[in-house]
Amino acid sequence: MTLSILAAEKAGGFDILSLVGEASGPGLVVLGLLGMASILVWIIWFAKWMQLNRLMSVQRRFERSCNQANTGDEILDVAAELPDAPGATVLRALGSRIGDENLVQELLMAVSRRAITMEEQRAGALMPTLSSIASASPFVGLFGTVWGIMIAFQRIGAEKSASLPVVAPAIGEALVATAFGLFAAIPATIGYNYIDRRIGDLMDELSTASDVWVARLYADEMRSRARRGMSKRA
């Protein structure tokens, strides 16, 4: 490894592939894990970006259609037309309670909160994985760093010398492990914060809209009951 490093330096570059290829067994395991974690971060980034764009797009269409509806029944029809919208899940849950003789507005509010929680869990899929990579990668890289330094000290003791050819391979392995850990952790942290904020924005919009839906459905149900009562008295 030392020769490859020196050759790369003479060529004016840094051959990281040689460092990875000539790392010790535990070092290779650490680098392999961090490399897979880095790839997984970008896969999750792309998957969540696509998912949230789709959910936010269909939710905005759903809310526009709901705003154009004049009655509670028309709002429930919108949920059937756009079943993939997060709001459709909430309205289906609310619709299942309409007609209950013991219906109160507080019950509808509780039902809507439960449905919103379910949608939040769906939107937050893979977020724990991203969070784990962000928090664990630096420590995995630190383990590789410590391992490389231990090897460097062992070589110093065996060779009775602290010259560059003796310690450079192990120190290079240690620093590469640190770099790999940061390479996985930094995008994971940024991605988690960005995606979590977008999920929060979507859930805030859904929660606000659900309050309106609850009020409209409850008011329509009360008017319908009042008309039925008047018809029976007549």
- The contacts found for 160-169 with CB under 8 angstroms, 24 or more apart, are 164/2, 165/2, 168/1, 168/2, 168/5, 169/1, 169/2, 169/5, 169/22
Residue range of the domain that includes 184: 23-226
Query: 70's torsion region: left (phi>0), alpha (psi -120 to 50) or beta?
Result: alpha
Q: What is the pLDDT along the chain (234 residues), one digit of tens a residue?
A: 444 444 444 444 446 666 665 666 777 888 889 999 999 999 999 999 999 999 999 999 999 999 898 888 899 999 999 999 999 999 999 999 888 878 888 999 999 999 999 999 999 999 999 999 999 999 999 998 888 888 888 888 888 777 777 777 778 778 888 889 999 999 999 999 999 999 999 999 999 999 999 999 998 888 888 877 776 665
Q: The whole model's pTM is what?
A: 0.82
Question: Does residue 140 fall inside a structural domain?
Answer: yes
Q: Is residue 8 part of a domain?
A: no
Within a domain: 10: no
In a domain, 97, yes or no: yes
Q: Is residue 210 part of a domain?
A: yes
- As for how many domains the chain has, the answer is 1
How far apart are alpha carbons 10 and 167 in whole angstroms? 19
